[in-house]
């Protein structure tokens, strides 16, 4: 049974997490330290309905010049609650085999998930932008996003799991008109002004 990284909401709240819906830009070292030092690994099936814990999800937004990689989740994608929706980020769980010390496991989880889903050329690691929380939907209530921004070197990309997603580059000024078709985290990020 797959186990994923989770942190008790009580530990997050003790570090300043308010459990409000929104994107919270900034480093928040106390919150990051709580994730690094207080996480456990829980069976994914259990964590999906245990609202006392937040699954930690690196969520990487890929940018090339003034365009963003916009993906559509198809019906063979794992999270049924997101089928058919558009996403501005590539996200996924941190697994037990990413137990490296410190924040290394967070960035490694982000890069692993990105490389599993898409291939893009880059020379610098993704930059951490802040935390993302959404209590408006069931899928969001049990997840906490760590938002990263990755600058692609060129406009070439490849989707690895073509049966699970499709996508392409979308200009920043065209994203707002696609909001109704987007999953919650993408809507929050675009409405926050991070995407510009």
Taking the C-alpha atoms of residue 159 and residue 162, their distance in angstroms, rounded to an integer, is 6
> Torsions phi, psi of 13, nearest 5?
-65, -35
Q: What is the pLDDT of residue 79?
A: 64
pLDDT surpasses 90 at 137: no
Question: Alpha helix locations (H) across 7-97?
Answer: 9-14, 29-38, 44-47
Give residue-wise pLDDT tens across range 2-31.
Answer: 899 999 999 999 999 999 999 999 999 999
Query: What's the chain's average pLDDT?
Result: 91
Q: What average pLDDT does range 66-83 have in this prediction?
A: 80
pTM: 0.93
Give residue-wise pLDDT tens across range 155-194.
Answer: 999 999 888 899 999 999 999 999 999 999 999 999 998 7
Q: What is the pLDDT of residue 97?
A: 79
Taking the C-alpha atoms of residue 173 and residue 196, their distance in angstroms, rounded to an integer, is 7
pLDDT surpasses 80 at 129: yes
Which superfamily, per CATH, for 3-192? Nucleoside Triphosphate Pyrophosphohydrolase (3.90.79.10)
Q: Strands 143-151 and 53-64, how do they pair?
A: parallel
- Find, among 94, 100, 84, the residue nearest to 116 by Cα: 94
Q: What is the pLDDT of residue 99?
A: 67
Q: What is the pLDDT of residue 77?
A: 65
User: Which residue ranges make up each domain of the chain?
Assistant: 3-192
- Find, among 143, 174, 180, 194, the residue nearest to 67 by Cα: 174
Q: What average pLDDT does range 33-61 have in this prediction?
A: 95
Give, in order, the Cα–Cα distances in Å from 164 to each of 11, 79, 115, 189.
34, 10, 14, 23
- Find, among 1, 108, 104, 103, the residue nearest to 44 by Cα: 1
């Amino acid at each position: 049974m797959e186990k994923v990284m989770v942190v008790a909401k009580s530990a997050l709240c003790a570090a300043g997490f308010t459990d409000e819906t929104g994107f919270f830009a900034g480093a928040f070292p106390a919150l990051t330290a709580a994730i690094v030092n207080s996480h456990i690994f829980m069976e994914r099936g259990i964590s999906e309905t245990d609202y006392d814990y937040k699954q930690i999800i690196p969520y990487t937004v890929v940018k090339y010049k003034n365009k963003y990689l916009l993906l559509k989740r198809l019906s063979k994608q794992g999270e049924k609650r997101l089928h058919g929706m558009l996403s501005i980020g590539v996200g996924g769980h941190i697994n037990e085999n990413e137990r490296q010390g410190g924040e290394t496991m967070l960035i490694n989880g982000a890069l692993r998930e990105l490389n599993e889903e898409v291939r893009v050329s880059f020379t610098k690691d993704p930059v951490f932008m802040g935390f993302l929380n959404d209590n408006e939907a069931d899928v969001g209530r049990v997840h906490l996003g760590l938002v990263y921004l990755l600058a692609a070197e060129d406009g070439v990309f490849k989707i690895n799991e073509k049966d699970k997603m499709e996508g392409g580059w979308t200009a920043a000024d065209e994203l707002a008109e696609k909001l109704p078709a987007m999953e919650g985290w993408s809507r929050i990020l675009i409405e926050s002004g991070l995407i510009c």
